[in-house]
Chain A
Amino acid sequence: MILEKQIWVWADYRNYFHSRVTLQILARASVLAKKNNAVVCAVVFGDRVDAYAGEYIAHGAQKVYVIDDPALKVYNVESYAFLLSTLARQYAPQILLIGATRFGQEIAPRVAKQLDTGLTADCIDLDMDDTGRLVQVAPSFGGNLIAKIITPHTRPQMATVRPGTFQELPHDDDATGEKIRRPLPENMPKPRVRCLKSELQQARVRKIETADIVITGGRGMGSKGKFKKLLDLAYLLNAEVGATRPVVYADWISQEALVGQAGKHIRPKVLFSFGISGAIQHTAALADARFIVAVNKNPNATMMKLADVALVADANQVCSGIIRALKDRIRN
């Protein structure tokens, strides 16, 4: 029987350290824990995962529950969900947070159902009200509406958290935390889904979802050749390039660059949008962009209305103009 309040973060370390979502959630959990006198705990399953446990302590976890067993070498939704709900029943955390990676979004609903509790998907903010309830802020409708959701009666309060939402804490080598090792439960069912192959695809270094500056281009760029100019601009601005669907369909840039309902959601500090009309399937993914500069020949385009600064002009000319200005203005 545990009396202390605990906030749990399920550790999604696959593809670490490319994927930092667990560290980001630990940082937020630390803030929430202070409001509520709770203990921040990470929960790690896998084969030889001690190094990860240490990493989570250096990033804010005060306790780490570890189940380390060769049988857990491969990520398996069924087994991991079973372990997580078994532990949660035993230690009764107030809050259980999971990164909204694809795997995280697969395991979380299953754990929530096993624990008969609520789950809010893909949160873009988490807070705690005065009574200690977790306020889960989640977009719906492609980011055009935001809902605040609570889980009033059942515990744990569960949420998945969108990667890139919170800033991880700096690595602290001196941080100390307790590692609590648990054995594989004897009643663990044999997984019914068998993994025949699992291969890491070539990971890209930077990702458009987490870039501080994103340049998006639409059909208004005119042609594949002209679209490429945006890459030069991106180089100068230290930015990533995204695109609308017609651009991806026309193969001016790869599918990976698609921004919108069917593609990536971005959250840059500055967004430059060139020759984009602003269809809702595209703008749905822009709700978290902080400062928007839009360029369009048509002042009435929706994208221009959403912008902080709207330049009524030819997209290619403005792109070249900004490149010239930057070469001039960047101090070395």
Chain B
Amino acid sequence: MLHIIVCIKQVPMVSELPWDPKTGTLKRETAQGMMDPAARRALEAALQIKAKTDRDQVYITTVSMGPPMAEEILYEARALGADQGVLLTDPCMAGADTCMTANILGKFIRDHCPDAGLILCGSMSSDSETAQVGPQLAEELDIPAIGYARRLELDDHCIRVERHVDDFMELLEMDLPGLVTIDHAGESDLYTPRYVALAGVEAAFKTRDIRVMDRTALGLDNDFNALASSPTKIIEVYSPITRKENRVLTGAVKKMVDTLFDDYGKIISSAMGKDLKTHDHEGDA
């Protein structure tokens, strides 16, 4: 039997966020959560492997580290076809950077899923965008890993992965157990996620069968503190969208275009690397 672990993360739903484009402020606390799109593609890859194989031969565990509300995405994963969902949650895990996240996920997999054959992650999450958790989890577990997979091919104890990296198309191969991250950027390819009817998610919710594990259940030290143990510290957060002049032009197109070039021609011509005539009103007068 092949035991696949899919690491999924809950991220704020960016399009639903109350955000002010002028200041760029995002009210993260009030945000609704959703399954990280890249992790969703990883889950899709697992479901496709299961569909192609004898059903009893593949077992899918989804695991997420996050606040209690992250259980939502685990129920959704159950509704989509995952066999088990595990939520790692404890106040002492808050503020984990990628290293600490990989440590915690790694500890869970090592101690509670010793038979794991294939571990799947998204290549890059939509909120923190680090692309670090997958590779660091592979380090933590000391297993081989391949990033940015576009296509997987399983064959007994070996996996072949096609990927596109920095203008190179590569075909790589490794023995299992191993970790693969699924490319987050593909749009219309193999691992475009399936969707599940709301009723299915509701039914999954009723089962209340997500396993929740805290610090003690995971066997982390009493004084474990992810925030304090993270080697990086955020010292400031700000919005890049500074207040602009935001000049609005209306009226006849010819006039607007002339104003654009007369008032801002310097900026445009220096970016073009060509000279532009800026005052060209002879014909108008």
What is the interface of chain A, defined by CB distance below 8 A to chain B? Answer: 14-15, 18-19, 77-78, 101-103, 105-106, 108-110, 112-114, 116-122, 135-136, 139-154, 192-201, 203, 212-213, 237-239, 245, 248, 255, 258, 261-263, 268-270, 278-281, 283-284, 287-288, 291-293, 299, 302, 304-314, 317-318, 321-322, 324-326, 328-331
Contacts and interface: CB of A to CB of B under 8 A. Distances in A.
B173 A193 contact: yes
A273 to B, nearest CB: 13
Contacts of B246: 305, 307-308, 310
24 contacts: A14-B168, A106-B148, A113-B102, A113-B135, A116-B99, A121-B130, A145-B26, A146-B240, A147-B234, A148-B236, A149-B232, A197-B170, A201-B169, A255-B187, A263-B185, A269-B270, A280-B17, A291-B264, A293-B260, A312-B250, A314-B253, A321-B256, A328-B277, A331-B276
B91 interface: no
B275 interface: yes
Interface in B241-261: 241, 244-250, 253-254, 256-258, 260-261
A313 B253 contact: yes
Interface residues of B, number: 89
A109 B132 contact: yes
Dominant SS among interface residues on chain A: mixed
Given A109-B132, A197-B170, A331-B277, A312 B249 contact: yes
Contact of A149 (B99, B135, B234): B234
Interface string B258-285: 1011001101101111111110100000
B174 interface: yes
Nearest to B134: A109
Interface stretch (B56-64, B81-89, B139-147, B207-215): B139-147
A312 B98 CA distance: 45
Contact of A118 (B144, B230, B241, B272): B230
Contact of B127 (A141, A146, A150): A141
A203 B175 contact: no
Contact of B135 (A110, A146, A201, A279): A110
A136 B233 CA distance: 10
A83 B146 CA distance: 18
Contacts of B230: 118
B15 A281 contact: yes
Given A15-B168, A106-B131, A318-B256, 10 more contacts: A108-B132, A119-B99, A122-B129, A146-B239, A195-B171, A270-B271, A311-B250, A321-B253, A325-B258, A329-B261
